Amino acid sequence: MMPPNCALCRVPPQLSEFESKDFTLVYFRSTVTYPDDWAGHPENAEWFCPTHLPLTEGLTHLPALDAMRLITAKLRGTTDQGS
Ligand SMILES: [Zn+2]
């Protein structure tokens, strides 16, 4: 399992203002079927820091790629206004 690293901040955990235990692994709709003994990082799961976790609300029924696209669009909409 990867160390927690927010999918949106992409700040190395040791530089983050949050501790590992503060991060939440969010599971989106799986688009890949894994063997039962597979132990890697699921492609449909992403870590989120407490700041960005609320942005995943209502999106976990989507595949991770679609959800991430919506989340980044939402973020851009609130930070790039007027440009
Ligand atoms: Zn974050």
Q: What is the pLDDT of residues 17-56, one digit of tens each?
A: 898 899 999 999 987 777 778 777 777 899 999 999 999 9
- Give the C-alpha distances (Å, rounded to integers) separating 28 from 16, 17, 19, 24: 24, 25, 23, 13
CA 36 – ligand 1 centroid, Å = 30
* pLDDT band, very low/low/confident/very high, at 79 (cuts 50, 70, 90): low
Does 83 reside within a domain? Answer: no
Does 66 reside within a domain? Answer: yes
Does 72 reside within a domain? Answer: yes
* pLDDT band, very low/low/confident/very high, at 78 (cuts 50, 70, 90): low
CA 37 – ligand 1 centroid, Å = 30
Domain that holds residue 45: 1-10+28-33+41-77
Q: What is the pLDDT of residues 9-18, one digit of tens each?
A: 988 877 888 9
